[in-house]
Chains A and B, each alone.
Chain A
């Protein structure tokens, strides 16, 4: 059964028209239709944070977001952080502080941190740990991730 509809919204500043069934996950639209594979498919149940993207300024799990609810939305993914090959200050800090580790959780953490820092969220260790509660790193190395975020915040 073909149940595809056309949904219009913005991804990384560009208008897109995605043809998909209405309950298709934003995660699948990004990865399979738009070929933006920086957003990772982790648990698919909203628990791990690997698919975190920013929708209308808020960090959300792309696996919990049906495309039908994105009409007119502004979606930002990890691909939007760097300026071509030039990393932004948050990404550069992750590189310098060893915050990337194996890399699976990194895109989601970068996007969660970006949303948090943009809205003026606190940057002490306790505040950053609470903000990161929805992002799992199975390398178990949150300390370097927190340090990376703090270095980026201090540089601003």
Chain B
């Protein structure tokens, strides 16, 4: 049956308070937020939209777009270290283009910029929002493993309360999140964590550099302490199954050890025990696991990845 576009109703609030009031009053009526529309519009025209009632968030951009450092950055920390002690708050309606152009994010964590740049073309990046990508929870979402690796938290607001939930806890089931029907995702919070000599990697493996949905996404963060041992290792994957995930076993295996080929091989072997990728139209379980193993081995061995303060990643 063709999509009947006139079945879709829209409520346009004037501000955040009005949106939350509406959501509280109509919480069981199936209304869903409409951010940049880049997912919602394709779902409507594919006849698999989650709702027929939409809350238009466009007027809330003044309140919910933008990137701010909330924490106090300590002086005197070696250049290139990720500073201790604060948060970067990214408003939910910040577009992927704004992530790409943010000087703050380029300094704090260039991985975010890489992930935003790998999501579709410019036309999509200009409309797609940080919050929309998180709530729609596409299995191959490029930015999602980065939020996992950064230990991000999401800020959820309702008329009566605001709560923060670890992103890791927020994503529980495929294409679903822990958001309540009267809650709006208003921001994602990135803890600013000191890691000595941080090394970073973002890699999307796809049939084309942009536009194509990824076969898999891998992102990694690790520090190296004064003795040259790994500290705070994060290895996160997207596209391996319905949810982005961290390879915690491989992370623990690397923690406290110096990078080496042997350690890389051990981490890769651990992945085989930990990951059970899916077969689907974009790739096979076998290809996904081999690619994850190869990238993990190379990163843990210290062969790929960039220093934390450098914006660009060698190709």
Interfacial residues, chain A to chain B (CB-CB below 8 A): 1-4, 21-25, 44-47, 49, 52, 58-61, 63-66, 68-69, 71, 112, 115-116, 130-136
Contacts and interface: CB of A to CB of B under 8 A. Distances in A.
A135 B58 CA distance: 26
Given A1-B7, A23-B8, A45-B42, A131 B122 contact: yes
Interface string B1-14: 00001111110100
Nearest to A5: B10
Contacts of A64: 36-38, 41-42, 123-124, 127
Given A45-B42, A64-B41, A134 B120 contact: yes
A61 B123 CA distance: 5
Interface in B126-140: 126-127
A134 B121 contact: yes
B174 interface: no
Contact of B37 (A4, A59, A69, A136): A69
Interface residues of B, number: 31
27 contacts: A1-B6, A1-B7, A3-B7, A3-B9, A22-B9, A22-B54, A23-B44, A45-B45, A46-B123, A46-B124, A49-B123, A58-B97, A58-B126, A59-B122, A59-B126, A64-B123, A65-B41, A66-B34, A68-B12, A68-B56, A68-B58, A69-B34, A116-B122, A132-B121, A133-B208, A133-B211, A134-B122
Nearest to B118: A133
A22 B122 contact: no
Contacts of B8: 3, 21-23
A1 B4 CA distance: 10
**Across chains A and B, which 5 residue pairs bring their CB atoms closest together, nearest first?**
A134-B121, A133-B210, A22-B10, A23-B8, A21-B6
Given A44-B45, A134-B211, A49 B5 contact: no
